[in-house]
Amino acid sequence: MNKEQLQHIRADFPILTEKIYNKDLIYFDNAATTQKPRCVVERIENGYYHLNANIHRGVHYLSQKATEAHEAARTSVAEFLHAAKREEIIFTRGTTEAINLVATSFGEAFCKTGDEIILSVMEHHSNIVPWQMLCERKGMKLRVIPMNERGELDMEAYKSLLNEHTKIVSVAHVSNVLGTINPVKEIIQIAHSHTIPVLVDGAQAVPHIPVNVVELDADFYVFSGHKIYGPTGIGVLYGKSNWLNAIPPYQGGGEMIANVTFEKTTYNELPFKFEAGTPDYISSTALAEALRYVQEIGLDKIAEHEHELLTYCTEKLMEIKDMRIIGTAKEKSSVISFLVGNIHPYDMGILLDKLGIAVRTGHHCAQPLIDSLGIPGTVRASFAFYNTKEEIDVFIDALKRVVKMLS
Amino acid sequence: MTINELQDEIIEEFSAFDDWMDKYALLIDLGNSLLPLEDKYKNPQNIIEGCQSRVWLNAELNDGIITYQGESDAVLVKGIVSLLIRVLSGHTPDEILNTELYFIDKIGLKEHLSPTRSNGLVAMVKQMKMFALAYKSVIS
């Protein structure tokens, strides 16, 4: 990406010109949420101003228009993930709700006392707690794939965890703390050789790398809209139709039914079976716009630019004395977690903030991972395609100043 | 000095700085010079878990006066802990319970005590008052 292209892109994100404590905002907290391009915000505005009517079943013009937009968004997501069928795309409130849906409905249909679920040590709480809740309900056990010192999953240990009690494997595509890109295709192949399905938490992957769910052969793939330049409160569950047909509905209500009497309700077909209540049709269409925007720039181009930022920042960080990068996997996305000497991450984060730099500190909702590393947390800088090397230079200077103050 | 006189003294000290980084530099100095809490007090009973950092707090009553000791794993938090101790330590339970802590807001460090900052400080202030309440019942 050349300078001019980058300038054009940055102009699409009005928030990037904000001043924080009279300093230029440097936003390096993209793994938590991304900023929104003008076109996405305009799509939301346009939705409420011109396209607002409750969808499906409405006979009037506006309802049909809104329905078309919502269903077109479903098609966009299906194409984005290269899903085989559009009805395999379920809109949820986000990654968390999508995992809860699968943990609940899949658990209801297929799990019993003594069964096991395999996760990895680097999971976000949202890919731990729903499964733990299922384990408590059913008397099941979590098994955890360990990792090596670089933050790469131990595939041999993974193989040894699979057994006749394993019901599902659920792993992150990309770690939100370490940036590790996990070999999910291989993980899926191995699980499938034991006829065990796999859920992939793609929250940190879809904004950065092209995803093809058919090629991966994922049984479930989930992500959040707000992490890929879309609105908050919308997310996606992709599920192979045979699985989605085989598991019961998650929530009951309007939309998800075929026929209701007080004696018995029959459920609607996919995808509506899993979309109880009025869906967020404004956000779904805005998410589709975000995906269009990202694809227009090109995910390959995005990945290339972000990789450059990752390499550049890593090199610059290593110049700082007592720097410790947490997560040095060979395959890594644009997330850098680090610590300097014995300085507490909270102290670094607070001071960097006062210099206009937004990074995240703490356990990043992955306490088991942080505990396993024996550290109090990390400082995490995470990049998006609108970030620049110049911003990294400012960040490094600020960090040096902060480290000096704190050591 | 009364608690409020101590609060005013701190406000005065911090008023010398306009720049955030200078205020924080002072806070770091205060944090670094806070006497470490003896290991025997760093027990699970005295720990206040925040999402980002941890605070330990101990309080003792001698002749009707409360003395606090505290520590944190983050130095900025330690700086604020040292300020809270300077203000509240050496006073009676009643004096502590009747105090409104306004200095943190006045010196511009309110954000550290906002409930959205999960650094254990809000819980610490509450715990300091709880100690005062508990010791008050011991005295009476």
Residues A214 and A328 reside in one and the same domain: no
Which residues of chain B make contact with A351, given a CB cutoff of 8 A? 21, 24, 76
Q: Which of B76, B114, B119 to mutate to test the interface with A (most CBs of A within 10 A)?
A: B76
At A243, which helix (H) or strand (E)? Answer: helix A241-246
Using a CB-CB cut-off of 8 Å, the residues of chain B touching A407 are none
Cβ-Cβ contacts under 8 Å between A and B: the total is 43
pLDDT at B105: 87
Please give the average per-residue pLDDT across A283-295, as a whole number.
Answer: 98
The yes-or-no verdict on residue A47 having pLDDT over 90 is: yes
Do A149 and A287 belong together in one domain? yes
User: What's the pLDDT score for residue A144?
Assistant: 98
The CATH number of the domain holding residue A353 is 3.90.1150.10
Q: A185 in a domain, yes or no?
A: yes
For residues A182 and A273, membership in a common domain is answered with: yes
List all residues 6 or more positions away from A395 whose beta carbon is below 8 Å from its beta carbon: A26, A28, A313, A352, A357, A381
Average pLDDT over residues A284-305: 97
pLDDT score at B111: 73
Q: For residues A317 and A373, state if they share a domain.
A: yes
Does A243 or B18 have the greater pLDDT score?
A243
- Mean pLDDT for A120-145 is 98
Residues A351, A282 share a domain: no
**Beta-carbon separation of B76 and A354 below 8 A:** no
Indicate if B51 belongs to the active site. yes
Q: Looking at the structure, tell me whether residues A279 and A182 fall in a common domain.
A: yes
- Name residues whose C-beta falls within 8 Å of residue A75's C-beta, 6 or more positions apart in sequence: A86
Q: Is residue A139 part of a domain?
A: yes
Closest chain B residue by Cα to residue A354: B20
User: How confident is the model over A17-26, as a mean pLDDT?
Assistant: 95
Determine the 3-state secondary structure of B43 from DSSP.
coil
The answer to whether residue A39 is domain-embedded is: no
- Please, are residues A179 and A332 in contact by the beta-carbon 8 Å criterion? yes
Answer yes or no: is A68 within a domain: yes
DSSP state of A250: S
Residues A205, A68 share a domain: yes
Contact B28 A363 (CB under 8 A): no
pLDDT single digits (tens) B113-124: 666 556 677 888
Tell me: do A291 and A316 sit in the same domain: no
Q: What is the mean pLDDT of the segment spanning A320-346? A: 97
Shared-domain flag, residues A239 and A355 = no
Q: Which residues of B touch A350 (CB under 8 A)?
A: 24, 76, 112
Q: Using 50, 70 and 90 to split pLDDT, how confident is the model at A254?
A: confident
Pick B76's closest partner by Cβ from A346, A362, A377: A346
- Cross-chain residue pair A350–B73, CB shorter than 8 Å: no
Which pTM was predicted?
0.94
Average pLDDT, integer, range B55-81: 93
Closest chain B C-alpha to A405 CA, distance in angstroms: 7
* Residue A394 included in any domain: yes
* B28:A406 CB<8 A: yes
The whole-angstrom separation of Cα A49 and Cα B62 is 68
Q: Are A350 and B24 inside 8 Å of each other by CB?
A: yes
d(CA A15, CA A388): 15
pLDDT tens figures, A336-348: 999 999 999 999 9
**Do A211 and A266 form a contact (C-beta atoms < 8 A)?**
no
Residues A241 and A117 in one domain: yes
- For residue A169 the two structure tokens come to 């494997």
| pLDDT of the residue at B123 | 83
Task: Write down the pLDDT at residue A139.
Answer: 98
Average confidence score pLDDT of chain A:
97
Do the strands A335-340 and A323-326 form a parallel or antiparallel pair, or are they unpaired? antiparallel
Last residue of one domain, picked from the residues A295, A316, A336: A295
CA–CA gap between residue A188 and residue A208 (Å, rounded):
20
Q: How far is A177 from chain B (nearest CA, A)?
A: 15
Residue whose entry in the numeric block shows the structure tokens 């943990």: A103
Give mean pLDDT, residues A207-230: 98
Residue burial A341-374, b: 16+ Cβ < 10 Å; e: rest: eebbbbbbbbbbbbbbbbbbbbbbbbebbbeebe
Answer whether A64's CB lies under 8 Å from A200's CB: no
Which residue from B24, B25, B73 is facing A344, i.e. has the nearest CB?
B73
Residue type, B21: M
Q: What is the mean pLDDT of residues A296-308?
A: 96
Last residue of a domain, one of A273, A295, A317: A295
Same domain flag for A86 and A183? yes
CA dihedral A91, A92, A93, A97 (to 10 degrees): -160
For residue A346, give the nearest of B20, B24, B52 by CB distance. Answer: B52
Q: Which of B19, B27, B30, B75 best tests the A interface by mutation, with the highest count of A CBs <10 A?
A: B75
pLDDT at residue B118 in the model: 60
Range of the domain at A349: 3-29+298-406
Judge: B20–A21 Cβ closer than 8 Å, yes or no.
Answer: yes
For the cut 90, the answer to whether the pLDDT of residue A245 exceeds it is: yes
A354 to chain B, any CB pair closer than 8 A? The answer is yes
Is the residue at A317 inside a domain?
yes
Domains of chain B with bracketed CATH: 3-139 (3.90.1010.10)
A108, A290 contact by CB (below 8 A): no
A86 and chain B: CB distance < 8 Å anywhere?
A: no
Task: Answer yes or no: do A311 and A378 share one domain.
Answer: yes
Mean pLDDT of A347-351: 94
A295, A325, A349 - which closes a domain = A295
Query: Cβ distance A326 to A375 under 8 Å?
Result: yes
For residues B108 and A149, the model is more confident at A149
- Cα B102 to Cα A35: distance, rounded to the nearest angstrom: 36
Query: d(Cα A62, Cα A261) in Å, to the nearest integer?
Result: 30
Question: Mean of the pLDDT values across residues A267-280?
Answer: 94
Nearest to A405 among B28, B52, B54 (CB): B28
Give the gap in angstroms from C-alpha B25 to the nearest C-alpha of chain A: 7
CA distance A281 to A183: 34
In a domain, A43, yes or no: no
* A107 closest CA partner among A247, A251, A245, A273: A247
From the list B16, B20, B45, B51, the catalytic residue is: B51
CATH of the domain at A126: 3.40.640.10
How far apart are alpha carbons A310 and B44 in whole angstroms? 40
The residues of B whose Cβ lies within 8 A of any Cβ of A are 20-21, 24-25, 28, 51-54, 73-77, 112, 119
Of A55-64, A124-133, B75-84, which has the strongest mean pLDDT? A124-133
The partner residue sitting opposite B53, judged by closest CB among A344, A351, A405, is A344
Q: Which of B21, B24, B74 sits opposite A344 (nearest CB)?
A: B74
CB contact under 8 A, A346 and B28: no
Nearest 5°: phi and psi at A217? 65, 30
**For chain A, what is the domain count?**
2
- Confidence class for position A315, pLDDT limits 50, 70, 90: very high
> Chain A contacts of B28, Cβ < 8 Å?
347, 405-406
Whether A346 contacts chain B with CB within 8 A: yes
- Is position A45 within any domain? no
Q: Is the ipTM of this complex over 0.85?
A: yes
Chosen for mutation from A19, A339, A350 (greatest number of chain B CBs closer than 10 Å) is A350
